[in-house]
Structure 1
Amino acid sequence: MATCDLQLPAGLKAHDFDNAAQLAEALASDVAGRLRAAIAQNGKATLVVSGGRSPVAFFERLAAEPLDWSQVVVSLADERWVPVEHPDSNAALVRRHLLQGPAAAAKLLGLYSLAPSLEAAAEQADRLLAELPPIDVLVLGMGDDGHTASLFPSSPNLREALSLGGERRCLAMLAPSVPHQRLTMTRDLLASASVKILSIAGQAKLDTLRTAVQGDDVTALPIRAFLNPSLEIYWCP
């Protein structure tokens, strides 16, 4: 691991790796250490992760870490509004690649519910997230368009989701791709995490990140809402 110059705000920690395997191993070791520390201090730990294909290697490495998983709550930064049996479900992804072996003892607090509408599902998830303990570790991803979680540029609920001091923990969100209906934790809830990590790979995402640090319009590039000295960045080509 090396510290890299990504033209980031002063104080922001950034680490680069030669490949995805190295990144996954280092990230899993770091996150596991943070969770152990939280368990030692509070008797429990809460981890919030993002879905998609990118975190699979990290999930599998983390599942192999020695940890009292029975004291860990895992939740999702965002979710596609699909049943948990659906191949695009983030909850299914986490169960398949993270909650295996000893890690299966962790409690998963998902966002999906069977509801008559996306908004009703978001309201149900908002109520469920009232039971989420304080977030110890948050691991975010980012798209080439600068979205993180399911905070997508131009989505109808984006301004509310990015507002500071709002009452909602979860909102309905529309993505520009299929499946386009999403549920996302709001900025306030995500930013409440004690440890915030952004894990990205590839030149395109690095270019997006470099663009993001040069402006302050969070609705244009929602990742900007989290670019501050409390964020740690993991990157590989």
Structure 2
Amino acid sequence: MQPEWRVLADADALVERLAAALCAEAEAAIAARGVFHLVLAGGTTPLALYRALADRRAGDARWHVWYGDERCLPADYPERNSVMLEAAWFAASSIPPENRRPIPAERGAREAAAVYGEWLEGVGDFDVALLGMGEDGHTASLFPGHGWGDAPDSADVLAVHAAPKPPPERVSLSAARLNRSRRVWFVITGSGKRKALLCWKNGETLPASVVRGKLETVAWLDAAAWPVNE
């Protein structure tokens, strides 16, 4: 099942459109249910988006933010997703600290996965899951050749060992838990992603391709990533 492919002229145009769309979706969710549950992508690609959300003063006490994955590094390590997000967005937001739920990956993959799974108990479908995609087609910390937790009875959170990119120990939401999202939005930029996107377009099974939103799945792309001539 293919996502909706939304190709923007460049990364700046993508960030502007996506930030507006995310804020609109938050308003709709809050109007309908009084709360907005958002899963955040890690890594460096979405940082421009998070800075744009900071500029918009996006987020308040009705927003609840979760993490798609985290590296098992010290809690204050600069390359932790939680550290990058605090600097890029949360420090300038009105989202209360208790609504910002980083994965406690400093405890190690197995313990952190168990703890985060407990935190998610009783939490219903996410409103939006923001995800990236690597050059190998991985998303969150679900890598080719590793278990993706895509069976319906999979645990919500996976301990990832021997990941093919450092650090090897990680924690990730499972594909099954990500599939309990109303909307799944991928944020993909740069020419290095073209090969994986072509595989996805051609129907190959990748970690990214098994994650689907209940209402919609959208791949937000810049023109550099889109394999238009392939």
The corresponding residue for 1:120 is 111
The corresponding residue for 1:170 is 157
Q: Give me the CA root mean square deviation.
A: 2.1
The corresponding residue for 2:102 is 110
Q: Per-residue CA shift, 1:164-200, capped at 9, x if unaligned?
A: 232x110111321221111000111101111110110
- Aligned-pair distance for 1:14? 1.6
Of 74-83 and 12-21, deviating more is 12-21
1:98 aligns with 2:84: no
Alignment of 1:10-21 (within 5 A): 12-21=3-12
Alignment of 1:39-78 (within 5 A): 39-65=30-56, 67=58, 69-78=60-69
Q: Per-residue CA shift, 1:104-128, capped at 9, x if unaligned?
A: 436211112543x421221122112
Of 168-177 and 102-111, deviating more is 102-111
For 1:77 and 1:105, locate their aligned partners in 2 and report how far apart those are by CA, in whole Å: 19
Unpaired runs of 5+ in structure 2?
Answer: 225-230
TM-score (norm. length: structure 2) = 0.87
1:154 aligns with 2:110: no
Q: Per-residue CA shift, 1:80-126, capped at 9, x if unaligned?
A: 112221111111111111213234436211112543x4212211221
1:196 aligns with 2:184: yes
**How many residues matched?**
220
For 2:204 and 2:56, locate their aligned partners in 1 and report how far apart those are by CA, in whole Å: 38
TM-score (norm. length: structure 1) = 0.85
Of 58-67 and 33-42, deviating more is 58-67
For 1:103 and 1:233, locate their aligned partners in 2 and report how far apart those are by CA, in whole Å: 28
For 1:36 and 1:128, locate their aligned partners in 2 and report how far apart those are by CA, in whole Å: 24
SS in 1 for 2:117: helix
Q: Which amino acid aligns with 1:224?
A: S
Distance 1:99 1:66, change over 3 A: closer
For 1:114 and 1:181, locate their aligned partners in 2 and report how far apart those are by CA, in whole Å: 10
The corresponding residue for 1:135 is 126
For 1:62 and 1:101, locate their aligned partners in 2 and report how far apart those are by CA, in whole Å: 9
Unpaired runs of 5+ in structure 1?
Answer: 1-7
Identity between Structure 1 and Structure 2 (%): 26
Contact 2:184 2:212 in 1 (8 A): no
Which segments of structure 1 move beyond 6 Å, counting only runs of 4 or more?
A: none
SS in 2 for 1:127: helix
Q: Which amino acid aligns with 2:195?
A: D
Distance 1:48 1:227, change over 3 A: closer
